[in-house]
Amino acid sequence: MARKRSSDEAGVSLDSLMDALTNVVAVLILVLILVQADVTQKVEEFLDNLKPATPEEVQQSKEQLAKVREELERKQALLQQEAPTPAAIEEEKRSIALLEKELKDNSELLADLDELKRLERKLRLERDVEQEKTSKIEEEIARLLAQLDATPEKVAKPDIVTIPSSRPIPATAKIYYAIVQRGRVHLIDPFTPVELFEDEFRQEKRHWLLERVKRQGADRYIYDGRKIEAHFKDFDFKNRRNQRVTLVAPPTGTRMRIEIRPDLKEGGTTTEQLAEPNSQFAASVKALSRIRGAVLMFWVHPDSFPTYLKARPLADAVNLPAGWEIRFNQMYAVTLSDVEIRRQKEPPPAKPDPNPQPKPPRLGPKLD
């Protein structure tokens, strides 16, 4: 069983505790004294090292102090104001949203404005370039006008077109043709294709005979025009003038014809080429002049009289008899009257003329 502590033992313990606390307090006081002494020393050192303020620095400090006091008073006044209501806060939010939208729109407008300014600079630059070009062109025009004024006017030599005389073409003449259209002259040889056809026909006509009609004198021979036309479809008519030669058997006719079509765009001899001494047309008329009885007839389209006036002297220079007519023909056709073919279908009846007029006598081609 534990024994009870005596009152003397309790008193001794309390005294020991008090002694210990006294020692601690004494130590703390000593530390405080030392710290205070050190702080005092530091303050004295700081004050010793502190430079005295100039009047300007003092004035600047006073101004800063006044600003701080003014800002403090403004904030204290704001603190004393009543807090905004929720409705006022919402209204302020809406105002801020509107301001943000206006700011965005204004930013887009500023971007568009920058683009417009850029386009304006570009257009002004282009305008300046065009103005410079225009100025140069105007200067060149002025120079040419001055040069034109200083140049004596040349009197153009008149073009002389002889009127066909009444001199007839000899019956035994071999008439060649020259189609003059679109600033080109195309020499037409109607004899060579006919001669080549006749030679080929004599060799092959037995294959094309349909009927022989007995009659007094020479018998009639009727041939199949379709077969003849097919046979001559790719026949070489020896044309070297870029002209298309075709044998045509009309379905409603009894006679065939040979068509000679020049290339009106690329063929023949141009007006400019006629000035060359060795042009194709010059060589052709020179060759024709050596053919006995050869005559050259010009078919002149109204749009090509200047071309005719360049071509005609070439024929006159080699003493080739020639004449001219106004014609619109774009081809030459010769009828093969010696060969009869069977008509494939009857031609439609001619429409009667309610007011027939007498036709003037036909004037054939003449030499001039």
pLDDT tens for each residue of 67-86: 888 888 877 777 777 766 78
pTM of the model: 0.56
What's the burial of 47, exposed, middle or buried (CB within 10 Å: 0-12/13-18/19+)? exposed
How many angstroms separate the CA atoms of 263 and 53, rounded?
114
How many angstroms separate the CA atoms of 326 and 299, rounded?
6
pLDDT band for 2, please (50, 70, 90 cuts): very low
Which of 202, 184, 179, 210 has the alpha carbon at shortest distance from 300? 179
Q: pLDDT for 251-303, tens place per residue?
A: 999 999 999 999 999 999 999 999 998 999 999 999 999 999 999 999 999 99
Which of 227, 256, 253, 233 has the alpha carbon at shortest distance from 245? 233
State the angle between helix axes of 280-288 and 305-317 in degrees (0 to 180), rounded to the nearest 10: 40
- Which residues on adjacent β-strands are paired with residue 184? 181, 270
The count of other CB atoms within 10 Å of the CB of residue 308 is 20
Per-residue pLDDT at 33 exceeds 90: no
Per-residue pLDDT at 165 exceeds 50: yes
Q: Say which range, 102-111, 155-164, 171-180, 199-208, has the weakest mean pLDDT.
A: 155-164
